[in-house]
Structure 1
């Protein structure tokens, strides 16, 4: 359960109307506060023919869609079109509080039974049963483990209870209060505080600026059953709800069962009056200076905001928004080029535009900078915006943008059958609440493709000016305050800097001429195959070439037209000459492009394709990993071949990589979570490069020359394991790999033995963080064993699930002391005999010691007290469901089975036993592991609190 916002200044660009449920023309006309009908009723567009739309007599609407990925799974979403902007001043936070309460007692599920019931039928709490509250919606989500009628009956019964069966018992309200306050604390961060301040500044004068979904602490503290009931009866009514059903089910059965459960429901009392939404200022220059040193970087931005009115989702409106989308995409490309210029002050650049809640239009561009270069960065943003407004874009830019967007539309069509029911249901809810006609990928391509083909530079320039040629400007400098920005007078300083930048003249943008790819010649010799191995039981084929190259292929049909690809080589972090080299080496290789093309030249050369390839330094190996559509497999092979044979280690890329990592570390050292990654995990696994992160001091000593000297011989000499999974022709893949790599002479480096780790059993460590966030992190860990006895590894995973569930009940539900306790098993893949069982949670600093003791006590009881069959089943059934889903993904076969299977051939046997082995786990198995590993005197504790807290 969570609250979130659908708005963020740095959210993804959208080409669709963002609309709330409001269709009223007057805030006093309460009869029109609720929506009715469907977006297509106001449009000339026809919705996806795969959808079935229905309406019950009580006004409840529903949408059904058959989908077969994953098999036997059905997503049921109850979409209540009311969120925090429906609250009164006295109810601020009640919409989110109410979301929590519907898991704590309804007509058919007394308090304390619903989550346990979900688990017993194979649904994970959080993964398959969740909800969220936003400004204009509260959405409840169930992912059923089967589409059989019996499961649909149970699922619709639960949703109907959410809709009108809430008990809202006073004792449960009191019990949940602590959990909500714990959630509020867990989500507090410098980034969250900055985002809220940005929203308040840009949207001042409107409800969203005042209605943060998490609410006010004084309201949360005072909330009672009566206050919750007032919101529930006013907005939780059939005519304000849409049920979305997507999955592997019979739609006739689903419609009948849905009708039986929802048709009797009725609203209580009067429909709530729509509150006055308000308006934003549409003119003037506003300055937002919000110092927040814990953010770790200085953020700068320019924004324009304007009021708008709801518009029907017609094809004409779609065309207008699509042109704006294209224009913003072109501006984004300019910013990326500026970011990658030598000694650029900019990083993490972005340009965005959208319409929020159908009432507020906005456009923005922003970046991160070093604090001492904020003026230079702001000047670049202003000049870039002025340049686009005065001179528009170029033909070359538009051509590239068209190719990129066309490829995106085509990929959506080719991967239609691979969409998951969960993702589809979420998309349907979002589009319905945004008043969008739901189109299939083919319909979207057929709608936007011709628009794209006929779009002119004039169309794009007009669309861009329509967004930005407005009298309102918001200039913001947030985060780490730069020179000259003392607290008093900072806004005036920013105003003067911006005025000076705006007064400068600009010249037209000059788009570079881009180079083609691929540019390396095809090797003259094909590879000689020395061995073919068919792993019949799992459908994998291995081909061994004479010169140290090995190919594994796996054909799948559950992710149509998609391919995953990896090249494994070397020993990864184990071969680091200096600790701390891996993160910066990853970033340098990524940012450098290749020898013949820098990053931006490579991006331009690949425009219009869907192939991507990245570099990673893992604990056991280096890897090139990527994906593409099935007809682009040769491009993936070419990209890997070029990465290995013409690598680049550019100085400007090194500078960008260091700055990006510096910003990340500056942010991490101000959070309890970050300090745990940087220091806490090093305490639990001392000397290991598999756990935690290196210090910034270690990375800061790394030079570009050291990275190149480390990686160049590895790229050119190390033996290669190439893995390809997906909708492929294995013979064609073998031909391509043989042509590009088969003739090579490469050698397998000996894997060095990892140093043994001495776990700090019985130790208690206190760390502090320089932070104003009132939050502590508690981590308790126990030593286990390494990864390679797979039967033990699987049972340790179940032990972690059992312990996690006990913490959920005892610490979250009973004590209300934390929002989301987490237990994970992390067996080592490189340290013989070593692994960790780690429990972690965030809480109030003054409760940290008490909760650490409680975790140790609960864990030690697992070995002393009997684990019931019911408790095991609640942990095991969701695991079995997730295994079934997991095995129908390319990612499972690539990452868990094929990658490094030449070193660990036992991985090829694991798919044959995974379901049966998990199903065979007993309470005795789990209790024995608990007795072996979870003794209280074996535990190590790390508590991280804000500086000054005890």
Structure 2
């Protein structure tokens, strides 16, 4: 189960946040092929309520349960069923803290119609994978259950509504099952917490949330309550809050809407509300006058960061006026973050990461949030830099060219959603309806939204945008949080100092200058070369072209998406061809070139040139391959090919990008040793690579010896000869129509016929038994990885057996380590196998647990493995694997990204790509005997490495 613990802006922003602080004010709609366009004039009537997409049937039962039903055929023969409860941790009494989440667990451990684990067992046999598909999450204000089901089995699909109804009102809460699940929930808390971020959150959340109910009701709850509560206490929470007038059923998928409505009525009409229902209090976070500052440190925290959070009352988009404001807000967020991105392109970037955003926070609040992660010793510069950019926007506003680019980018996004409106995944609709139920956010549908954007975005003015900065930025109801390593506590600013930094950051700033170019990406098209051979594979619908320069192109046109073409071009070699001395320089080659722009254009100029295009092209260099990954809409396909051509022929060398990257990497390494996970990962990497330095994190010493010239020259050498390249294209195109473009651009790539391939550096675990223990961390949190490895013959038959072994191990270890021992939250089982650079396999078993339980759980794991070796897998477990694998294969065969990976992999491995068509039929090769033989062959305890992370010795 997925406990939603994204609590503070700090938690969202941390570890270089991957853009997670980018809260979307208006989520893009799930498209509909039938909704009727709405005129711009109607859209702009003052405060007009937004329409409801007429492709969704919304109803309410007499008992108050709400339902949303929509027919959608992506993916085919599948449906998403959700139960949404307006019941989260904020409703818990003092004695119930953690029980909203515990209820979620118990829903999978016994209901009226599914005693104990019968529900999970039934669904696994139907092809639904526990954890990956079947799941649930608990947050402050809601608990959500998700149940993706096949619709081509009427019995399984209809049973799904019975399952939702059992969750909604018929969980049994057997005391023995509660006692078994305590350990699982506590282990989930250990996996997701017991770390620096949790300890910092406990210090900062009371400040951020103004000591509100939210600050004292974290979803995970309190350990002493989880260990000791009785069935009566949890039943009380369930009886009070799991009631139909606080619940919604969402069903989206390939089914008959009226039949689904009848199923909902049949299964949910019998649910009853309490005779005297408790009022469902809407908790809020009270505003605070002025600014509150909080400084927090932790021994294991490897970064120094600052957050500035200006809180505002929540705005829910329900009207055209509100929608228009959400459009302006999105444009504002885009433009301000584009400016911050430009600062990272400097040779001495002022921060490691920075992000600003206006969007939802928590407790009926929105917030303008600025988050910046500094280099060691560079907090002042980082804070002043991010504040200066917000002040620059407030004082001088934005430029017309910035606004036009932001509008173009927004239009690209809405156009893509509109063009894919009949190919949108059902899960996208579910998210929309969930927000509508929980907070009333409008669901007008993609046709309305597209027409609204096209008709009205041009009316957004600079004056309107400039007003937003003044509205968002304030010193009232503001929280400033500084977090850093405990060892640097004396170096962190006090409240007066941080306020002074922020107060003076806008002094002496000038208006932003937008550096744009009007030059085209290319002055003229290259000469190119013609197709010299062409073959068809009618079985899987591919065409293979060979161009005059030796470049091979595999084309698979599909109808899975209307507005997507995916490209993967590769050649053998990669960083394996770099000498040890040059490896560090070489390892940066693709990222440096990919961040330096192209031809005569720096990265900032290139980004601005591409702002109105749906295209993304990135070179890469991996261990044994190098190449290009790209995606584009059909209308921007030629631009993608131009960029590919230029990354081969005119890569750009930018000394500022190089210096900035080296400086940033050194800064990230400075406190890496504080983080237990990083220290553990270094040891794990050493074991997995047989102590080859290429497998681990780089060092400051190696960075110091790296040079831009070596990096750039290695990149150029890798892309100097395209004759060994194979490009795979999958998506919305006609092979005949795009052939001239392929001849022009891919056919013009340089060709020297070097005929290079990779070097085998033997980077795999050494044979024999090997145990490494790392002692790092102050909390009782241990991590175990058990790694079996050895030689492997790569073929379809062996691969199926390995996949089966992986899933059988997963099933048995969930049953033993989680359900029986209550010692872990979830095991991680992964069987990897490869043909290149040589046939090798690894089977990795990973789990997190209490330090005292390591030996017991390792012994239990080995015991389960031994049982499979002795008697093979149980037939029921094989049935579960076959069902899950067949279902997932059917879905993947309708996905562009899956075909791209499969065709590229088949090409690299010399496989017959037609094998995929018999994959499901070949699953009958998995038998009790075959699983026994596979376990004996590959799970050899004499060839087992164990890498263990233990808390520091007291």
**TM-score w.r.t. structure 2 length?**
0.92
The answer to whether 1:4 aligns with 2:8 is no
The answer to whether 1:859 aligns with 2:874 is no
Does the Cα contact within 8 Å between 1:92 and 1:216 map onto a contact in 2? yes
Of 755-764 and 775-784, deviating more is 755-764
The answer to whether 1:445 aligns with 2:450 is yes
How many Å separate the matches in 1 of 2:6 and 2:391? 29
**TM-score w.r.t. structure 1 length?**
0.92
Partner of 1:30: none
- Per-residue deviation at 1:197? 4.5
How many Å separate the matches in 1 of 2:212 and 2:704? 46
Partner of 1:497: 501
Partner of 1:69: 74
Please list, as runs of the form range in 1=range in 2, the aligned pairs for 1:651-800 lying within 5 A after superposition.
651-662=655-666, 669-671=673-675, 673-686=677-690, 698=702, 701-719=705-723, 720-743=725-748, 744-756=750-762, 759-768=765-774, 770-786=776-792, 788-800=794-806
- Per-residue deviation at 1:858? 1.6
How many Å separate the matches in 2 of 1:112 and 1:154? 16
1:264-299 Cα offsets, whole Å, 9 max, x none, are 111345322344725333432222222235332222
Q: Indicate the SS of the match to 2:218.
A: coil
- Per-residue deviation at 1:204? 1.2
How many Å separate the matches in 1 of 2:831 and 2:523? 45
Partner of 2:211: 205
1:116 pairs with one of 121, 124, 140: 121
Please list, as runs of the form range in 1=range in 2, the aligned pairs for 1:323-722 lying within 5 A after superposition.
323-357=328-362, 359-469=364-474, 471-480=476-485, 485-486=490-491, 490-501=494-505, 504-519=507-522, 521-523=524-526, 525-578=527-580, 579-580=583-584, 583-662=587-666, 669-671=673-675, 673-686=677-690, 698=702, 701-719=705-723, 720-722=725-727
Does the Cα contact within 8 Å between 1:305 and 1:363 map onto a contact in 2? yes
How many Å separate the matches in 1 of 2:561 and 2:881? 29
1:34-56 Cα offsets, whole Å, 9 max, x none, are xxxxxxxx972112221111211
Q: Indicate the SS of the match to 2:115.
A: coil
Of 383-392 and 793-802, deviating more is 383-392
Q: Indicate the SS of the match to 1:742.
A: helix
How many Å separate the matches in 1 of 2:340 and 2:763? 46
Partner of 1:24: none
**Alignment CA distance shift 1:627-1:850 (3 Å):** same
Q: Indicate the SS of the match to 1:622.
A: strand
1:587-625 Cα offsets, whole Å, 9 max, x none, are 323322223222211110101111011222233311211
- Per-residue deviation at 1:884? 0.8
**Alignment CA distance shift 1:155-1:286 (3 Å):** same
The answer to whether 1:911 aligns with 2:916 is yes
Does the Cα contact within 8 Å between 1:70 and 1:421 map onto a contact in 2? yes
How many Å separate the matches in 2 of 1:655 and 1:201? 38
- Per-residue deviation at 1:867? 1.9
Q: Indicate the SS of the match to 1:122.
A: coil
Partner of 2:890: 884
Partner of 1:29: none
Gaps of 5+ in 1: 19-41
**Alignment CA distance shift 1:208-1:615 (3 Å):** farther
Partner of 1:28: none
**Alignment CA distance shift 1:912-1:688 (3 Å):** farther
Does the Cα contact within 8 Å between 1:294 and 1:666 map onto a contact in 2? no
The answer to whether 1:237 aligns with 2:243 is yes
Gaps of 5+ in 2: 14-20, 29-46
Partner of 2:253: 247
- Per-residue deviation at 1:854? 2.1
Does the Cα contact within 8 Å between 2:586 and 2:714 map onto a contact in 1? no
How many Å separate the matches in 1 of 2:952 and 2:333? 43
2:831 pairs with one of 825, 830, 837: 825
Of 340-349 and 259-268, deviating more is 340-349
- Per-residue deviation at 1:757? 6.2
1:116-142 Cα offsets, whole Å, 9 max, x none, are 111101110111100000111100000
Does the Cα contact within 8 Å between 1:672 and 1:777 map onto a contact in 2? no
Of 418-427 and 247-256, deviating more is 418-427
Q: Indicate the SS of the match to 2:359.
A: strand
- Per-residue deviation at 1:231? 0.9
Q: Indicate the SS of the match to 2:512.
A: coil
- Per-residue deviation at 1:948? 1.9
Q: Indicate the SS of the match to 2:560.
A: coil
Q: Indicate the SS of the match to 2:217.
A: coil
Does the Cα contact within 8 Å between 1:99 and 1:132 map onto a contact in 2? yes
- Per-residue deviation at 1:184? 0.7
- Per-residue deviation at 1:866? 3.6
Of 784-793 and 693-702, deviating more is 693-702
**Alignment CA distance shift 1:511-1:68 (3 Å):** same
The answer to whether 1:91 aligns with 2:96 is yes
How many Å separate the matches in 2 of 1:191 and 1:457? 40
Does the Cα contact within 8 Å between 2:112 and 2:166 map onto a contact in 1? yes
**Alignment CA distance shift 1:787-1:281 (3 Å):** farther
- Per-residue deviation at 1:577? 2.3
How many Å separate the matches in 2 of 1:812 and 1:806? 10
How many Å separate the matches in 1 of 2:786 and 2:486? 37
1:873-893 Cα offsets, whole Å, 9 max, x none, are 122211111111111111121
The answer to whether 1:57 aligns with 2:62 is yes
Does the Cα contact within 8 Å between 1:515 and 1:601 map onto a contact in 2? no
Partner of 2:931: 926
**Alignment CA distance shift 1:299-1:310 (3 Å):** closer
Does the Cα contact within 8 Å between 2:84 and 2:247 map onto a contact in 1? yes
- Per-residue deviation at 1:550? 1.2
Does the Cα contact within 8 Å between 1:590 and 1:614 map onto a contact in 2? yes
Q: Indicate the SS of the match to 2:657.
A: helix
How many Å separate the matches in 1 of 2:118 and 2:536? 49
**Alignment CA distance shift 1:292-1:783 (3 Å):** same
How many Å separate the matches in 2 of 1:481 and 1:495? 21
Does the Cα contact within 8 Å between 2:688 and 2:763 map onto a contact in 1? no
**Alignment CA distance shift 1:310-1:569 (3 Å):** closer
1:728-783 Cα offsets, whole Å, 9 max, x none, are 11123221111113144242533245144674455242332543343211111212
**Alignment CA distance shift 1:205-1:354 (3 Å):** same
How many Å separate the matches in 1 of 2:27 and 2:598? 40
**Alignment CA distance shift 1:416-1:580 (3 Å):** farther
1:16 pairs with one of 26, 48, 52: 26
1:192-240 Cα offsets, whole Å, 9 max, x none, are 4445554432221322222211112222222221111111011100111
How many Å separate the matches in 2 of 1:413 and 1:552? 29
How many Å separate the matches in 1 of 2:316 and 2:843? 54
Partner of 2:17: none
How many Å separate the matches in 1 of 2:371 and 2:535? 53
RMSD of the alignment, in Å? Answer: 2.6
